[in-house]
């Protein structure tokens, strides 16, 4: 099956710094990728839909200037958390669907972000 | 509004019993349905998908779909402690590969040894 690779798996950063998370589709071209955030014991929350070559579509309540998404190629989307604060500490997960298959979403391994 | 509803649980079953997880969805035109398992601190992993009405079996897992009732379920036979996790129901509400699946909030399953 299709594989989505996410990096890093865990990151600790200081308040005020920025963190970049990468999401790669390894064996298919993902014109669209999705970014989720999950707080402990909470459900997945869709943050944004990342579109290759165009602007991301953000869900209501998600600050686009804080969570910068770049989808410069068909296999790579990046999420940058800018000026991170402790309340941004969360589990960030990307996913992608193979547009030719209309099948399930494949998830990256997730990134545990801790802002201190 | 497109919604997928699940009972949050926790659902507790003894080891060896059948665990039954349920999910309803709002969009009657939904085409495909997925069950994911998520262990604490890990990302979701696909267990099964189902497209047609009826039952689909894969090992100890059976997915059941009733489009008329807008209902999908997952049965886990011979439940094991390692099955303890959160189970997410996801629905493809548009027949497109470029839209996100709509996820339920998940049901937490606890299998007691």
C-alpha A7/C-alpha A70 separation (Å) is 15
Q: Does residue A105 belong to the interface with chain B, where contact is any CB pair within 8 Å?
A: yes
> Which of A91, A101, A109 is facing B97, going by the closest CB pair?
A101
Q: What are phi and psi of A27, to 5 degrees?
A: -135, 20
> Which of A43, A108, A112 is facing B103, going by the closest CB pair?
A43
Average pLDDT over residues B2-14: 91
Least Cα distance to A109 among A1, A20, A2, A10 occurs for A10
CB pair distance less than 8 Å for B44 and A31: no
Contacts A–B by Cβ distance under 8 A: 60
Torsion of CA B38, B2, A70, A40, to 10 degrees: -30
C-alpha A7/C-alpha A24 separation (Å) is 9
Strand A90-97 with A32-38, pairing: antiparallel
Residues from chain B that touch A102, judged by Cβ atoms under 8 A, are 31-32, 92, 95-97
Residue of B nearest to A1 (CA): B46
A88-99 per-position pLDDT tens digit: 999 999 998 776
Pair B72, B65: CB distance under 8 Å? yes
C-alpha B59/C-alpha A102 separation (Å) is 24
B63-72 per-position pLDDT tens digit: 999 999 999 9
pLDDT at A65: 95
B25-62 per-position pLDDT tens digit: 999 988 889 999 999 999 999 999 999 999 999 999 99
How far is B77 from chain A, CA to nearest CA, in Å? 23
A14-73 per-position pLDDT tens digit: 999 999 999 999 988 888 899 999 998 888 999 999 988 888 999 999 999 999 999 988
């Amino acid at each position: 099956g299709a594989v989505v690779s996410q990096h890093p798996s865990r990151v600790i950063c200081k308040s005020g710094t920025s963190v970049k998370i990468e999401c790669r589709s390894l064996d298919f071209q993902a014109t669209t990728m999705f970014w989720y955030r999950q707080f402990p014991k909470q459900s997945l929350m869709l943050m944004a839909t990342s579109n290759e070559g165009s602007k991301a579509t953000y869900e209501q309540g998600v600050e686009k200037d804080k969570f910068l998404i770049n989808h410069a190629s068909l296999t790579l989307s990046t999420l940058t958390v800018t000026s991170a604060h402790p309340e941004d500490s969360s589990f960030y997960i990307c996913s992608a669907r193979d547009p030719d298959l209309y099948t399930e979403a494949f998830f990256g391994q997730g990134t545990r972000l801790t802002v201190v | 509004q497109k919604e997928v509803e699940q009972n949050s649980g926790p659902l507790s079953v003894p080891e060896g019993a059948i665990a039954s997880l349920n999910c309803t969805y709002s969009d009657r035109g939904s085409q495909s349905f997925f069950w994911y398992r998520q262990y604490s601190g890990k990302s979701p992993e696909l267990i099964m998908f189902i497209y047609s009405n009826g039952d689909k079996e894969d090992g100890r897992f059976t997915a059941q779909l009733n489009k008329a009732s807008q209902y999908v379920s997952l049965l886990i036979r011979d439940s094991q402690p390692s099955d303890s996790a959160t189970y997410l129901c996801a629905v493809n509400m548009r027949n497109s590969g470029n839209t996100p699946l709509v996820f339920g909030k998940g049901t937490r399953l606890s299998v007691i040894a």
